[in-house]
Structure 1
């Protein structure tokens, strides 16, 4: 079968190589899946660069989120275990961890539902306890992680401020339903948030960016507001000024979604049931901006790494998706 492999660390477009490898064989407690669609996540780019917290042995196949087909014809979503990721024609996964693909979503959409939306749901509900009527500020609102948070925030009854970079991303954030869109390149973010909230600030900030995004967030977070730290797409990990958190009475909370699989795996299934229901009534629908062939995966991962994509870019092996 064909699978993309990384033989040395570097930029995805330079180090990913499409190889012919043996098909994986399922062991006890495992399932062999035909890959119908594989979603590209920013951590896939970091894995190629050797900058992710997990560093699989070389060579490895990226791809941590797929929609696949079981030998008995069921359509499921799963997280392949590295070093044998989902940018391939077949993968082997832990049978206990597979989840049914929502019938309301096609293969590419289903592949893009799991990590981003689970992260958003746990971040907004389990960690920040977002309430109807509150103001939610989402950084990188037109991206894969941000667009999921926007949809989940609207579903929870929040007023959503979307922060983006550039007019095209602003248009997408508006289409997603943001009540206010701020172009960080052209607008005064802090002033806009204060004006929109009547000087109060944002009750919840969802930050997958870090760096300057975090620095501005602490200046416009509300009294008893909550800042959810999801990631550092900017490449800059900010240092929290705890004296500032003290005098302004806000909370800084981290979210590592993967830990729930270890600490409370049943919660992932409960969350998936809620997301499936939201997908069924059309409240959430992953924003898939590109569907690319397997042969074009390296270039697609590079675009995600460069931050020039919107929504989700999904790899669809030829003849696989329905």
Structure 2
């Protein structure tokens, strides 16, 4: 089989396409023929050794997939050769075949494409856990979404609207603002690109405050970090919830006096650990996502696809924050 491998820490240009022996499923495992693999920001970090998970090299990046069962290991029940599935193994998906635990696979309905299926889990599962569990978002509340045109951002916009919230999307271009509005955002603001000096941060905070209104945001969803974080926190409402999702703009330092003045919560969001610690709750969220998908309230937006040999280009586009929605490598 072919796989796009990381041999040493570095950027997307360090990846190489290689021929490897087909993997063999062990007890409880499935051999999956990968049909599509979505690219996410952790793929940018993992090949540079900057992610919390550091697989032994060489390894293939790519954290989520859609594919078909090609073989079953001993003891696997509920699956047959040819069954369609999606899964989030964390890495290894930029390859023609992969072995995964059978219990981690989720059936993919025949009506859904492999490309859309690959783009569902990481962004929507992260966002539903963030908004419904950590953010306790309720109908009628105001949600401010930073980076609202990225994969997790658009998922947060759609899930916020599905919950009945007023959603304000914050993005870095008019094109991204249009995408957020198409996803259902009630309003969209275009902020400048950082880094910002103190005056720039103050101006950005005033922009956020004007958008959410005088009562402030009940929930702020931040998958961006960096110099955007403190201005957003200053726009939070009384007893609001600030959701820490990711840091493509850098890891921020927040003045904790703001949390006292607003009596607000700063909540970390780590979906992968949540799914491992509470699989029943995660399964319930997955069922909700498929129901919302069937109802047309959510729909993964795939803005570009790449063949396996160009998977590094997809990761580079993600690193440059050029993507609207999801990027998918077709295999």
For Structure 1 versus Structure 2, the TM-score category normalised by the shorter chain is: over 0.9
- Judge conservation of contact 1:105–1:285 (CA < 8 Å) in 2: no
Which residue of 222, 231, 237 maps to 1:216?
Answer: 231
Match of 2:77 in 1: none
The whole-number CA distance in structure 1 between the counterparts of 2:242 and 2:204 is 16
Residue 318 of structure 2 is aligned to residue 304 of structure 1: yes
Question: How much has 1:163 moved relative to structure 2?
Answer: 0.7
1:9-158 pair list within 5 angstroms: 9-12=9-12, 14-71=13-70, 72-80=81-89, 82=91, 85-158=92-165
Instruction: Work out the CA distance in 2 between the residues paired with 1:210 and 1:148.
Output: 18
Per-residue deviation, 1:68: 1.2
The structural deviation recorded for 1:242 is: 2.0
Structure 1: how far apart are the matches of 2:157 and 2:111? Answer: 19
User: Could you report, residue by residue, the CA deviation over 1:274-297 in whole angstroms, capped at 9, with x for unpaired residues?
Assistant: 000011111100110011111211
Match of 1:232 among 247, 255, 260: 247
State the match for 2:273 in structure 1. Answer: 259
For structure 1, which runs of at least 5 residues remain unmatched after alignment? 318-322
CA distance 1:285–1:103, change in 2 (3 Å): farther
After superposition, the C-alpha distances for 1:1-30 in whole angstroms (9 at most, x for unaligned) are 110000111111x11111011111100010
Q: Distance in 2 between matches of 1:45 and 1:24?
A: 25
Q: Is the 8 A contact 2:168 2:212 kept in 1?
A: no
Kept after mapping to 1: 8 A contact 2:38/2:64: yes
8 A Cα contact 2:208 2:231, kept in partner: no
Question: What's the offset of the Cα at 1:237?
Answer: 1.1
Give secondary structure in 1 for the equivalent of 2:47: helix
**Deviations, residues 83-115 of structure 1 (Å, cap 9, x unaligned):** xx0001111001011111245531111111111
Which contiguous aligned blocks of 4+ residues in structure 1 show a shift greater than 4 angstroms?
Answer: 186-189
Quote the Cα distance in structure 2 between the aligned partners of 1:47 and 1:219.
Answer: 32
1:159-201 alpha-carbon deviations (Å, 9 max, x no partner): 1111111122122112212111111119954334433443111
Q: What's the offset of the Cα at 1:211?
A: 1.1
- 1:103 and 1:298 map into 2 onto residues whose CA distance is 29
- Other structure's SS at 2:300 match: coil
Q: Distance in 2 between matches of 1:293 and 1:5?
A: 15
Aligned to 1:8: 8
Per-residue CA deviations over 1:121-170 (Å, capped at 9, x if unaligned) read: 00000111100011101111010111111110011111111111112212
Q: Which runs of 5+ in 2 are unaligned?
A: 71-80, 194-199
Residues paired across the two proteins, number: 313
| DSSP 3-state at the match of 2:322 | coil
**Structure 1 residues 181 and 104: alpha-carbon distance in aligned structure 2, compared to 1, 3 A threshold:** farther
Report the secondary structure of 1:35's partner residue.
Answer: strand
Query: Is 1:30–1:93's contact at 8 Å kept on the other side of the alignment?
Result: yes
What CA RMSD, in Å, does the superposition of the two structures yield over aligned residues?
Answer: 1.5
In 2, Cα distance between the equivalents of 1:273 and 1:197? 31
For the residues of structure 2 that align with 1:102 and 1:303, how far apart are their CA atoms?
Answer: 29
Aligned to 1:320: none
Note if contact 2:44-2:318 (Cα within 8 Å) is conserved in structure 1.
Answer: yes
1:283-316 Cα distance to aligned partner (Å, 9 max, x none): 1001100111112111111111111111100011
Q: Which residue of 2 aligns with 1:204?
A: 219
